[in-house]
Homo-oligomer: A and B are copies of this chain.
């Protein structure tokens, strides 16, 4: 076995498929496979490209089709998954179907604590805006209680917790609420731009001129209270579709790796992989995993940004101001911004951790 692979892991990944580019399962599958995971990919939509292009063709799977594919796996005894990663589902009924799959896998693993772990990315929206139907929100609120780890972005954390995040205090309160309301063992809020929060709460980094992206994570204490860590990484000044899916997929592989490498050999046989109360936030497998995840992401996005600039410089910009020209230019820029994954997998396999987890106590 190569040293750069994580322990053998069978993953059921439930998310969207696009023909072109890397988002959803098209991203998650390759990321996890690159780290040595065996990935079963149950695709919830079949689109030509991601929606950032503002146009696409394709079809959505119905809830029945999703249940049916899972039923096919059950029929042939193909459900020996160690982890489920669930992402975008195209309707409330589809979210329910995904929820019932997760619960069924949990039931099957109930006699062997820690043998199955569900990572749920509650894909609902971003930047203050829902991009799913309203009824998807209560559907997620019904199923997140079954997940072991959820990965909301700032907006999704607000939606699930009911708390508007305007400061470090409200951020901590939102995580506390997520642990308490849904009994979720692990939470990572995947993108908080603290510089956009109220000035008095601004990021205390000495290099305050550079935008930092902050990732906040927590594994619950036995009291139900959060055990918080934060990692700050320099933000790359460009929006790339699929970063959330990349984060989730890397987290699956790296968390399992960290749990298997934990100084407590029984952690992997502990329900939901929750470390004892004596483990400091920065020593949590979740924190160690997130450090590697962010290192890989930072490297790949840097390479993507460079390649994007080269591609944009090499292709002629559409000139003129007509609607048709503007659309063409948007398509050109969106294509140039596709995450460059296949030729950068070495950064997934061999991350150089530069940004370390810090404890975050006394702030809340």
Chain A interface residues toward B at CB < 8 A: 1-2, 5, 8, 12, 17, 19-21, 26, 30, 33, 36-43, 46-49, 53, 55-59, 61, 65, 68-73, 75-78, 328, 331-332, 334-335, 342-343, 346
Select one of B46, B53, B75 contacting A57, CB under 8 A.
Answer: B75
| Between-chain CB contacts (< 8 Å), 5 pairs | A19-B41, A19-B42, A48-B75, A76-B331, A77-B332
Residue of B nearest to A78 (CB): B20
Given contacts A36-B342, A42-B19, contact A72 B49 (CB under 8 A): yes
Given contacts A19-B42, A41-B17, contact A49 B36 (CB under 8 A): no
Within the complex, what minimum Cβ distance (angstroms) separates A69 from chain B? 5
A20, B40: Cβ atoms under 8 Å? yes
A46, B43: Cβ atoms under 8 Å? yes
Within the complex, what minimum Cβ distance (angstroms) separates A56 from chain B? 5
Copies of this chain, complex-wide, total 2
Given contacts A49-B78, A78-B49, contact A38 B342 (CB under 8 A): yes
Q: Enumerate the 10 nearest inter-chain pairs by beta-carbon distance, A residue then B residue, closest first.
A: A48-B72, A57-B72, A20-B78, A20-B40, A57-B68, A19-B42, A53-B76, A48-B69, A19-B40, A33-B342
Residue of B nearest to A70 (CB): B48
B46, A72: Cβ atoms under 8 Å? no
Within the complex, what minimum Cβ distance (angstroms) separates A330 from chain B? 10
Besides A33-B33, A46-B69, A58-B69, 11 other CB < 8 A contacts?
A17-B41, A36-B343, A48-B72, A48-B76, A49-B76, A55-B72, A55-B76, A57-B69, A57-B71, A76-B331, A77-B328
Select one of B37, B69, B71, B334 contacting A342, CB under 8 A.
Answer: B37
Within the complex, what minimum Cβ distance (angstroms) separates A100 from chain B? 15
Chain B residues whose C-beta falls within 8 Å of the C-beta of A332 in the assembled complex: 77
Q: How far is the CA of A343 from the CA of B77 in the complex (A)?
A: 22
Within the complex, what minimum Cβ distance (angstroms) separates A32 from chain B? 9
Q: How far is the CA of A43 from the CA of B29 in the complex (A)?
A: 15
Q: How far is the CA of A360 from the CA of B69 in the complex (A)?
A: 47
Q: How far is the CA of A2 from the CA of B346 in the complex (A)?
A: 9
Within the complex, what minimum Cβ distance (angstroms) separates A347 from chain B? 11
Given contacts A30-B33, A41-B26, contact A19 B69 (CB under 8 A): yes
